Each structure stands twice: as C-alpha cells, then as structure tokens.
C-alpha cells in the first residue's frame, strides 16, 4: 500500500468549505476503505504519523499525548480505585495505553466498531497502539452502542467514550439511549467521560451533549484541553459521575506517583481544565 508521494504533497482538513489545516506528507503508509469509513495513515514532515478517518485527522504522534492523557487520567485519578475500565472507540490504543498506567487497573475492554482502525494502528502507530497487546486488554471489534445495550458483565468503574465527531458511525454515541445504557453498565461509584467537541466551532453540539448526559446522570460537566491538530485548538470532554464528587480534586498522592510518566496532565492542568471561558459558560446554560 505504501508508495512514494509526489514532492510537496499535503494532507488537508477543511471545515465547512471555509477554513482548514494542512500538513506536508512524507509518505502515505496506508489507505483503506472499511464498511464504515475510509482510514489512512500518513507520515508527515512536522507531526509524525497521523491517523485520518474520512479525511479528518484523528491523532498525530506529535500531540496525541494531550488528548489521551486528558480523557483517561481525569476520571482515573478521581475514582478511588479504578479496576475495570471500558473504552468505546479509541481503536488507535492511546486511551488504553494511558489507562494501563494506573496500577489498580485490572482489565481494559476496548470496543471499536472498525477493525481496520485497530489493524492500521497496530501496524503503523506502534507508540500509540503497543499497549493493545497487554494481557489486561481485551479488544472487541463490535458496535459500541450494541455492546453497551446487550452485553451483561461485571460493571465498569470508568467508561471512556473515545469517539469521532457526531457524524457517521459515531452519531448514536451522542444520544440519550446510549447514555442510559452507560449508566447501567457503570459501578455504583462509576465515572464516564466522552469526547466533547470544540467550543469555538461546535458550542451547539457541546450544549446538546451536556444536556443529554445531564438528563441521564443529573449533571454533566465539560472540561477542556488543547489540541494541536484539531480545528480551533481548544477542545473539551464531558464527564459525569454516579456519586456526587468534586471533579476538580484528583488524589494528589496517586498523581505524584505517576507524574514522571505524564507529559501534559498534572494536578494543576486537571483543576484548570474545569475553568471554562465566559463564552462557553454562557453557551452551555
């Protein structure tokens, strides 16, 4: 599949036909079409290897640590003793990798709808996906919505919805039926976190998602992180807890024990992530 691209080939991501980002490609490593979407991995001059789904950049080797640390460690340092973790989506493996850094975690189940994403990540993004071979990890190539509705198992302490945008196969992951199932599958002190879009460009989607989550859990809270390669730079997750909990107060001793292995997350960025710009607060009311 790999072939030498023409000199100065660029990969571009354009939103609404009006604004975009571009990266210069060194090599096209993989291009495929699954039953669900197109999947590609390119090596770039400036950002290492990149995974694209339907032409949208999902993850780059240069900055994937930010997204993956912030989706995983915020809930995992809040939960008193996370043992069983479920990841929906996230076929690149980065969220699983961060989850496995927590010594209390005994099992991680990854439910990814598209086997081509997992295969491409295993082959071409080893620094992101190597953890998928860990004996604590079960990879299931299944529809996350059906998995959540149908399977019965021990409850999960933390569920991470590591999804693409609410278009294509990820759309049901933004609906109330899905979150009702999430709540059923969580343990009594469980926490859910989901990819929550960009406040500059998709505040309406954020407000709708927060409302869905709050409708099921009683509350839904956004927290922010920075993304080099997603449009707008400022992006959010939504978090909900079955028990009342101070979401800005992770366990400092457990953070200190893992700090040397983290590049973005620390006690300060955890707390700061919950400080929303005024225009977000207004738009989420």
What is the binding site for its own copies (CB under 8 A)?
12, 14-24, 44-47, 63, 66, 200, 226-228, 230, 232-234, 259, 262-266, 268-269, 271-279, 281
Taking phi first (over 0 means left), then psi (-120 to 50 degrees means alpha), and beta for anything else, what does residue 232 get? Answer: left
**Is the CB of 141 or the CB of 228 nearer to its own copies?**
228
Q: Which among 57, 26, 52 is positioned nearest to 39, based on CA atoms? A: 52
**Is the CB of 61 or the CB of 112 nearer to its own copies?**
61
CB of 173 to its own copies, least distance (A): 24
**Is the CB of 13 or the CB of 31 nearer to its own copies?**
13
CB of 58 to its own copies, least distance (A): 16
**Is the CB of 11 or the CB of 100 nearer to its own copies?**
11
> Is 162 in the active site?
yes
CA separation (Å) from 228 to 69, 75, 111, 190, 284?
A: 14, 22, 26, 30, 24
Contact 139, 115 (CB under 8 A): no
**Is the CB of 190 or the CB of 196 nearer to its own copies?**
196
Catalytic residue, candidates 162, 181, 189, 251: 162
Measured between alpha carbons, how far is 10 from 17 in angstroms, rounded to an integer? 17
Contact 167, 79 (CB under 8 A): no
**Is the CB of 70 or the CB of 86 nearer to its own copies?**
70
Contact 23, 5 (CB under 8 A): no
Q: Which among 122, 193, 129, 136 is positioned nearest to 161, based on CA atoms? A: 193
Contacts of 105 (CB under 8 A, 6+ apart): 76, 82, 83, 84, 85, 99, 136
CB of 196 to its own copies, least distance (A): 15
CB of 80 to its own copies, least distance (A): 23
* DSSP helix/strand/coil, 43: strand
CB of 17 to its own copies, least distance (A): 7
Q: How do strand 156-162 and strand 186-195 relate by DSSP bridges? A: parallel
Measured between alpha carbons, how far is 136 from 159 in angstroms, rounded to an integer? 16
Measured between alpha carbons, how far is 231 from 21 in angstroms, rounded to an integer? 7
The catalytic site residues sit at 162
């Amino acid at each position: 599949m790999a072939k030498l691209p023409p000199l100065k080939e660029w990969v571009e991501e354009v939103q609404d036909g009006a604004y975009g980002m571009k990266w210069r490609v060194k090599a096209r490593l993989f291009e495929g079409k699954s039953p669900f979407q197109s999947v590609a991995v390119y090596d770039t001059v400036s950002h290492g290897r990149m995974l694209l789904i339907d032409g949208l950049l999902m993850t780059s080797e240069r900055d994937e640590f930010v997204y993956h640390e912030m989706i995983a460690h915020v809930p995992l340092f809040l939960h008193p003793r996370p043992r069983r973790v479920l990841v929906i989506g996230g076929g690149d493996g980065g969220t699983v990798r961060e989850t496995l850094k927590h010594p209390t975690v005994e099992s991680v189940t990854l439910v990814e709808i598209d086997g081509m994403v997992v295969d491409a990540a295993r082959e071409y993004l080893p620094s992101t996906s190597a953890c998928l071979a860990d004996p604590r990890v079960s990879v299931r190539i299944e529809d996350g919505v059906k998995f959540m509705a149908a399977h019965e198992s021990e409850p999960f302490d933390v569920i991470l919805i590591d999804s693409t945008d609410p278009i294509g196969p990820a759309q049901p992951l933004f609906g109330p039926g899905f979150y009702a199932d999430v709540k059923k599958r969580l343990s009594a002190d469980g926490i859910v976190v989901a990819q929550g879009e960009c406040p500059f460009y998709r505040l309406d989607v954020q407000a709708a998602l927060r409302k869905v989550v709050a409708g099921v859990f009683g509350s839904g809270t956004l927290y922010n992180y920075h993304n080099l390669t997603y449009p707008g730079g400022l992006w959010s997750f939504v978090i909900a807890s079955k028990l009342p909990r101070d979401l800005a107060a992770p366990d400092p001793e457990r953070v200190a024990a893992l700090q040397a292995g983290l590049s973005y997350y620390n006690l300060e960025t955890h707390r700061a992530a919950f400080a929303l710009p005024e225009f977000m607060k207004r738009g989420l009311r």
